[in-house]
Amino acid sequence: MENVSKFEEPLKRIKHFNEFHTPVSLERQKEQGERCMACGVPFCQNGQIINGMVSGCPLNNLVPETNNLVCGGNWKQAYERLTKTNNFPEFTCRVCPALCEAACTHNLHEEPVETKENERAIIENAFAEGWVAANPPKVRTGKTVAVVGSGPSGLAAAMQLNKRGHLVTVFERSDRVGGLLRYGIPNMKLDKSVIDRRIAIMEEEGITFKTGVNVGKDITAKELTNRFDAVVLACGASNPRDINAEGRDAKGIYFAVDYLSSVTKSLLDSELKDGKAISAKDKNVIVIGGGDTGNDCVGTAIRQGAKSVTQLEMMPMPSEERTAVNPWPEWPRVLKTDYGQQEAIAVFGSDPRVYQTTVKEFIKDKKGCLEKVKLVSLEPKKDEKTGRMKADVR
């Protein structure tokens, strides 16, 4: 069965930073739930490591159960079942790479069940019906907890601790709550109103959010431990991985999250009118890295009006179908063309990715600005310790 999830055409959606997903019909969602019921042994709901890669849902969502409820039209029960294992389905249904679908038994010979699509339908229907509402704990323990960081892990920890009756305060060094969700993921992938909607409910439930507080500078660790009974560190992974190459100090080189954050903040503050976003307009852009974040940079640069976009990928180009050494239910190491690459193809006429290569040297002009890059070819080799592939210079 062909996957018919709909998206706005690339040449139209690059004109804005809004989400561009179009929900499928109710009939389609029920049909997908029925397909799920034809499975003998589900591999989708158990997150496990197979050959160094995660297969199945890391949250252990009860996928067949929720799909069964969807195909029966039991939407409220489906919502209740989904939220037994998932604090924020409205986030995961937008940004999760759908490991459940990769491990779906149908994926052995045909298209997987569209579980991610059904998850989105479940949670958005729940919000529309008013089922997602503040439910403060009836009894408080009197214990206080500080959560440092308001990204997905910090928000989940705060929600769970608050349900137990503890008084939770979340500290965020940024000006807005959300961490990676807010500033690391572009708006067209996760509209920030989705975050605000959830935060409003969490505040109603008694959770306190303090933004613009850099723990370690504005407040010390000792002050936190003195003021609170417990402290949860959910600081995220904001330290970027640098590249050690000559000329790295050239002007015009940015870490991906810094670039994406500047664009999102400017969008939220002024609809990009304040001129504070790092701009790719009329520039030849090179994105180093072929993963999801690199793809987000490609899509963002195109929306800003980049003159050209090239994306460097260290590993070889994957095959279009599974190979014999990558059997189901392993995560499929197959060619994936994400929204940013689709947009680059539509605008520039070719896939922006260049495989098995990276930057050897950044070349500056007389003003110290990046002018050119010198590339080097890479050769994939297997790491004997981890069994994973790595790239070495040829």
Residue 227 within a domain: yes
Are 332 and 274 in the same domain?
yes
- Specify the CATH number for the domain of residue 93: 1.10.1060.10
Whether 4 has a pLDDT exceeding 70, the answer reads no
Are 300 and 380 in the same domain?
yes
Arithmetic mean of pLDDT over the chain: 94
Q: Report the distance separating Cα 281 and Cα 266, nearest Å.
A: 15
Are 372 and 271 in the same domain?
yes
User: Confidence class of residue 5 from pLDDT cuts 50, 70 and 90?
Assistant: low
Are 355 and 273 in the same domain?
yes
Strands ordered across the beta sheet of 389-393: 357-364, 370-382, 389-393
Tokens read off for 167: 């008084």
Are 260 and 388 in the same domain?
yes
| Cβ contacts of 350 within 8 Å, gap of 6 or more | 344
Q: What's residue 151's pLDDT?
A: 96
Domain boundary pick from 98, 129, 160: 129
Task: Provide the domain limits for residue 385.
Answer: 256-393
Residue 244 within a domain: no
Centre a 10 Å sphere on the Cβ of residue 97 and count the other Cβ atoms it contains.
Answer: 14
Domain boundary pick from 129, 158, 179: 129
Residue spans of alpha helices (H) in the chain: 10-13, 26-36, 63-71, 75-82, 89-95, 99-102, 115-129, 152-163, 192-204, 221-227, 256-270, 292-304, 339-348
How far does CA 24 lie from the centroid of its chain?
A: 21
Asked if 62 contacts 28 with a C-beta cutoff of 8 angstroms, the reply is: no
Whether 2 has a pLDDT exceeding 80, the answer reads no
Residue 1 within a domain: no
| Cβ contacts of 312 within 8 Å, gap of 6 or more | 286, 287, 288, 289, 290, 353, 354, 357, 358, 359, 375
Whether 386 has a pLDDT exceeding 90, the answer reads no
Domain boundary pick from 100, 129, 158: 129
User: Confidence class of residue 1 from pLDDT cuts 50, 70 and 90?
Assistant: very low
- Specify the CATH number for the domain of residue 175: 3.40.50.720
In sequence order, what are the beta bridge partners of 376? 358
Q: What is the DSSP letter of 183?
A: I
Burial label for 122, CB within 10 Å (0-12, 13-18, 19+), is buried
Residue 48 within a domain: yes
Nearest to 118 by CA among 35, 39, 188, 38: 35
| pTM metric for this prediction | 0.93
Q: What's the structural domain count of the chain?
A: 3
Residue 245 within a domain: no
